[in-house]
Structure 1
Amino acid sequence: MAATPPPDPRVTRWLYSVAIITFCLIVFGGFVRLNRAGLSIVEWNPVVGIAPPMTEAAWTTEFAKYQATPEYLTVNHAMTLGEYKTIFYIEWAHRLIARLAGLAVVLPLVVFLWRGTIRWRDSALFLGIALLFALQGFLGWFMVRSGLLETPAVSHYRLTIHLLMAMLLLAITLWAAMNRDARIGPAIRRMGDTPASRVALATLAIVTVQIAWGGFVAGLKAGHVSYSWPLMGGALVPAGLFAGADSWWASISSLPAAVHWLHRWFAFVVFAAVAGLVLIARGRTVSRAAHQAIHAAAMLVGVQIALGVSVLLWHVPVSLALLHQAVGLGIFTAMLVANHRLLRA
């Protein structure tokens, strides 16, 4: 039987590149949302839509399509063509970068398969990453479509699914890169084999839940419900916070005030989980690399809580809100690395 060849460093570098691109795309998606540009392009033309309008007549036609949307009719009815061009170019850049990112995934993969750098029998993971990228494109349009029909905003559920799928893509790609990285080595233990690994896995899940509720906050624009902290409406727990929903799930996921309240206080559950992980890892034989990743996550959680409070007190400025999203994604990434390192410890 032929020996399995060592991982090719070119494939490892490609995987790291895809992970970085995915991280940046998630952050840029937040920039698009915060500038309320996501609904500016009302059609999904993966090939024809690469170029923006080139003439004034083409711009007028594109603007007329937007003027028929609920967002224009109820929110931006006073918008000029010049203002429309600004939000159009933001969303156009988002879609162009996503297309280029797709090429950065597919073209190297085709070359690796053609040259035998990646063997076909080992290609399932890499083909899965490419398919997830394609699925993200569809989910992006599925999300946008929800804001073009009746309501002047995208479904916060679809937005959160789009976000979580991007995080899954980031996780799979980064984990695969670390497994192939000769400087790190593959994970050799099963998740949950040690107390530190169990707590790290639980912490990663808690961080993911908090980011999901952050997606709900973003989609519902629930950050604008209250600009005070720690009180909300003059109380720690406002009266009737969960009233008015048809089910318990709707009460915690679709009522803006409830979603806002849960997101602001669940941050301290994240803090407690990461602090517990720091303490557990300190008393056990854990590699230096694992300690570094855990401490990075802990530091970022502290920064994130301060940012979250600042975003509220400053009435959700775009710059701080975008940094808040980026740091949250940084915590998720640090916890991914910590989980992987603990399986090497």
Structure 2
Amino acid sequence: MRLLQVSPVREAWNPFSASCFRSCHRWADMGRRGATGLAGILPVDKPSGMTSHDVVARIRRMTGEGRVGHAGTLDPMATGLLVILVGPYTRLEPYLSSAEKAYEATIAFGSATDTDDAEGTVVRTGALRPELLDTAFAADTLSNLLGPSQQRPPAYSAIKVGGEVAHRAARAGAPLELAERAIEVFSAELLGIDAENAAWHVRFCVSKGTYIRALARDLGEMVGVPAHLAALRRTASGTLRIEDAVTLDESADITTRFVDPVLALGLVAVEVDPALIANGSALPRDTASQIPDETDVAIVSEGALLAIYRTTPRQLAPRVVLPPRSPA
């Protein structure tokens, strides 16, 4: 067993390179319908106006691979980093979606909308306060968002209650009562103030499930002036950065732009003989004796991701075991 140090790199990772088995290997389950043998993580710079599902559909058409998903929805208005998962790597979604995320947001004061963003209908307006243009006041107000809290999700969201989708109910004129959710704001940095448009430019780092639209709404409530989210760009998700991303125009050959899955996951890598996990078997605890209990680790061989296991007091238990590669 060998523990590998994981540190982010900013270069394309080729899952079919020599370091990740020989290039003649493909995924063994490629005989399934819609399976091409491709497997990868593709950071995409989503343009405004497209839904996350639109991007997934585009990648499906470009590759012919039916198993394509994403790790963390972006609203149509938003731009920036959307992590696309291809082939068997769609099974990594829970681990990538749970990552901390960073955004650059523009929060406009003076009006609130039913969706809490610029795409909604204005439902309330209010007079602006001179303090809104003061950087010290803005920074102090933003500091009140820091730390863990309970957030009330926007009425227009994809949350389901009893099988009913919130945004559909809201559009039908019967908004759902949405329970508050635990979130955490790790940082809220004022980047600047647009005096002409009474807007703050803010960089946020937040936990999974945080609605930036709701933070904009809540900031308006804090200062006593209606507010909404005017623009949003995701700049990071876990270890991945917007600098890693490709545009849809650039990603014609996406296999050259996949990133290293172990680096993307941000997990400690444990190198083992692939035969030891061929049947999804548990591994002896001393395979990763230096790692604390209840920790997820990436199981690798010669640089290729084989599985995700979790340490327990007695063993390493399989969480996700990827299909083996086989010669083409």
TM-score > 0.5, shorter chain as reference = no
The normalised TM-score by structure 2 is: 0.25
Q: Relative contact order: is structure 1 or structure 2 higher (C-alpha 8 Å, sep ≥ 6)?
A: 2
- TM-score w.r.t. the length of structure 1 is 0.25
Larger helix percent: 1
More strand, by proportion: 2
